[in-house]
Amino acid sequence: AVWQDILKLPKVGINDNFFDIGGHSLLAVQLHSRLKQLIDTELTLIDIFTYPTIKSLEEFIKKRINSEDEIITVQTSKRAVMSKQRINRLKSRNIDLDDNADIQKN
């Protein structure tokens, strides 16, 4: 519906090229603005030009979201490893962690 609204067309297919069916740079800016309001991921104006069909843009966004999820997973894993390393350092210094995670010296 966003593409139809921006282009003022009754119907837009998922394989229709935005620029071939009446889109131009000013309308691309409007499309970009509307899509940024609707989706929760980074989207640039260049992405609209690079992925000018609904289908190609959707595939790009899905890949970006999946890669953002992977980055978050990797960062979380790194934090877990770092936490384990800190715990091991504390233990090697004869510092125990009780159930409440309070640090106590032996």
User: What would the mean pLDDT of 24-44 be, rounded to a whole number?
Assistant: 91
User: What would the mean pLDDT of 31-42 be, rounded to a whole number?
Assistant: 87
Predicted local confidence at residue 99, as pLDDT? 44
User: What would the mean pLDDT of 86-106 be, rounded to a whole number?
Assistant: 54
**To the nearest whole number, what is the mean pLDDT of the chain?**
78
pLDDT band at 101 (very low <50, low <70, confident <90, very high): very low
Residue 70 has pLDDT above 60, yes or no: no
Residue 18 has pLDDT above 70, yes or no: yes
Residue 46 has pLDDT above 70, yes or no: yes
Q: Express each pLDDT in 77-95 by its tens digit.
A: 555 555 556 666 666 666 5
Residue 25 token pair: 């740079």
What one-character-per-residue DSSP string does 9-60 give?
-S---TT--TTTTT--HHHHHHHHHHHHHH-SS---HHHHHHS-SHHHHHHH
Q: 29: which residues sit within 8 A by CB, 6+ positions away? A: 45
Write down the pTM of the prediction. 0.62
